[in-house]
Structure 1
Amino acid sequence: MIEVRQLTKRYGAKAAVDNLSFTVRPGRVTGFLGANGAGKSTTMRAILGLDRPTSGSALIDGRPYAEMRNPVHHVGALLDAGAVHGGRSAFNHLLCLATSNGISGARVTQVLDQVGLAGVARKRVGGFSLGMKQRLGIAGTLLGDPGILMFDEPVNGLDPEGIRWIREFMRDLAAEGRTVLVSSHLMSEMALTADHVVIIGRGKLITEASMAELAERHHRGVLVRTPQASALSTALRESGAAVVAAADGSLSVSGMEASAIGELAFARGVVLHEITPRSASLEEAYMELTDDSVEYRATRTSPRAAETPERSAA
């Protein structure tokens, strides 16, 4: 288990991480979400003992990383897939890591096969694509068969097949009972991968919740389609629900659960073609939650609107 307790990291007057606390538990994929500059990488570096906290602590199974013996057997981390010697082969890169940690060469072969790089094991890393380097970095995290895995933006550079592979791979690792922490700013991908999310902004915790809890908090009512929209709208309003009719003829209903709407429609003899509870997507929920913590906000101005009068006249 990873425990971040009132963690603060300052660089001069700026707090990159500000009194941050959260817990990453085994058996699930925890998405660590926030805008660029929110403090995700700094937090992960503090967990791994690479950055010394100004105050607070970051513990792995109750201990600081620096106090762990043979930490590679407990924690595997990928923070920068490009941090490899381009002149070495994939096999030799991992063999150096393995040998320095008392791990056999047979394990190197095993993890290369596990991440799909067995066919290029003897090729120099300098010729690898970013996606291949990501796979190599992931192989490095697996060398000690650790119970805790941390990935910082692991899908960068991966093609669609690679993204799908790592998504399923991380979920498989969590299903084995491992602790998996994944930092990302790709909301659509995290919606398919994470079981739990920790969202931060400007170094502070905004929310920590399961995906189910997040969906419940950002419930958007019920979508209803019926050829008898007028009759159903009247019945719903009489029952205390709020109803908004859309241009396509569908109804957006709030203040009443889908099951109650269905029972009411049945009682009134109204035919239903669709009844769907709606929640905000992870991206929509994230944007709502982080709106006040956006540090750099662009204006939505079209190029034509931004032209100077002189240029427009020309």
Structure 2
Amino acid sequence: MIEIKELTKRYGAAVAVDRLSFEVRPGTVTGFLGPNGAGKSTTLRIILGLHRPTSGEALIGNRRYEQIRRPLREVGAVLDADAAHPGRTAFDHLACLARGNGIGRARVAAVLEQAGLANVAHKRVGGFSLGMRQRLGIAGALLGDPAVILLDEPVNGLDAAGIRWIRSTLRSLAAEGRTVLLSSHLMSEMALTADRVLVIGRGRLLEDTSLTRLRSRFGRDVLVRSPRAAALARLLTELGASVATTRGGGLVAVGVDAPTIADAAASASIPLHELTPRSATLEDIYLDMTSEATEYRSASERAPRP
């Protein structure tokens, strides 16, 4: 388990992480979300011993990262797709990592195969595309068969097949009981991959919950259309719903579910041409939650929503 306890990191007068506390448990893919400047990368670097906290601590299995004798056997991480030396081959890059952690060369070949890089194993990394470098980084993270996986924006540069591969790989690792922490700005992909989400803003924790519970709290409504829209609007109001009209003449009802609308419309002999339950996307929820914590916005993004 990863434990973050009252973590604070200051750079001069700037506070990057502010008394942050959370846990990442085994058996789930945990999404780590937040706008640019929220403190995600700083937190990941502190977990991996690359930055020292001003106060508080980050523990992996009750130990700081620097206390782990052979870290690749316990923690696999990708923070930068360009970490490999461009003059080395993919195999040599992983072989160097393996040798320092007591890992055999057979495992190097195995993770290159797993990452889809077996056919370019002896080509120099400098000629790789961004997607290929991402695959190499993930192969390095899996090299020691670790129980903890930390990935920062792992799908950048991957094609559709690569994105599907990393998604299925992460979910399989979590199903095996491993701890998976995934940072990404791609909300659509996070919605398909993560079981839980940690949302931070300005270095502070805004939310720690499952995706299911998060969706249940935000923005559920029903889009309904009928040739007798006025009568239907009155009926929905009588049912206790808040009703708004769309530009296309449909009705959006909040506070009543689709089965109730269907039953009431049938009883009143009001025909329905559409009845669509809707819920906010993870992107909608994320933007609402972080709107006050976003530091970098254009003029159009600052404008009030219609």
| Same fold, judged at TM 0.5 (above) | yes
Q: Which residue of 2 aligns with 1:311?
A: none
Contact kept in structure 1, 2:7 and 2:58, CA below 8 Å: yes
The answer to whether 1:68 aligns with 2:71 is no
Give the direction of change, closer, same or farther, for the CA distance of 1:62–1:227 in structure 2 (3 Å limit). Answer: farther
Map 1:143-158 → 2, pairs under 5 A? 143-158=143-158
Take 2:231 and 2:167, find their aligned partners in 1: how far apart are those partners?
A: 46
In 1, the alpha carbon distance for the partners of 2:28 and 2:139 equals: 20
Q: Which runs of 5+ in 1 are unaligned?
A: 302-314
Structure 2 length-normalised TM: 0.93
1:144 positional shift: 0.9
Give the secondary-structure state (helix, strand or coil) at the position aligned to 1:230: helix
Matched, 1:10 2:3: no
The CA RMSD over aligned residues, in Å, is 1.7
Structure 2 runs not aligned, ≥5 long? 302-306
Instruction: Decide whether the 8 Å contact of 1:2 with 1:24 is kept in 2.
Output: yes
Question: How far off its partner does 1:93 sit?
Answer: 0.8
Alignment of 1:132-147 (within 5 A): 132-147=132-147
2:221 matched to which residue of 1? 221
AA in 2 matched with 1:73: R
Contact kept, 8 Å, 1:27 with 1:176, in 2: the verdict is: yes
Write out per-residue CA displacement over residues 246-275 of structure 1, whole angstroms, 9 at most, x where no aligned residue: 232321111212232223223323333432
Question: Alignment partner of 1:84: what SS?
Answer: coil
**Residue of structure 1 in register with 2:304 after alignment:** none
Deviation at 1:185?
1.5
- 1:111-260 correspondence to structure 2 within 5 Å: 111-260=111-260
Q: C-alpha separation between the residues in 2 aligned to 1:33 and 1:226?
A: 40
Q: How many residues end up aligned between the 2 structures? A: 301
Structure 1 residue 8: Cα displacement: 0.4
Equivalent position SS for 2:285 = helix
Asked if structure 1 preserves the Cα contact closer than 8 Å seen for 2:98 and 2:105, the reply is: yes
SS at match of 1:249: coil
Distance in 2 (CA, whole Å) between partners of 1:63 and 1:270 is 65
Quick one: distance in 1 between partners of 2:277 and 2:64? 44
C-alpha deviation, 1:168, in angstroms: 2.2
Distance in 2 separating the partners of 1:152 and 1:212 = 23
One-letter code of the match for 1:295? Answer: E
Indicate the SS of the match to 1:266: helix
Native 8 Å contact 2:36 2:295 kept in 1: no
Matching residue's letter, 1:220: R
- Whole-Å separation in 1 of the counterparts to 2:136 and 2:157: 13
Q: Is 2:278 aligned against 1:282? A: no
Following TM superposition, by how much is the alpha carbon of 1:297 offset from its aligned partner in structure 2, in angstroms? 2.1
CA distance in 2, matches of 1:15, 1:31: 23
Q: Between 56-65 and 268-277, report the one with greater CA deviation.
A: 268-277
Give the superposition deviation at 1:9.
0.7
Identity of matched residues, %: 61
Find the aligned partners of 2:298 and 2:247 in 1 and give their Cα distance: 31
Aligned to 1:25: 25
CA displacement at 1:98 relative to structure 2: 0.8
Residue 80 of structure 1: SS of its match in structure 2?
A: coil
- State the AA in 2 paired with 1:233: A
Change (3 A) 1:249 1:165: same
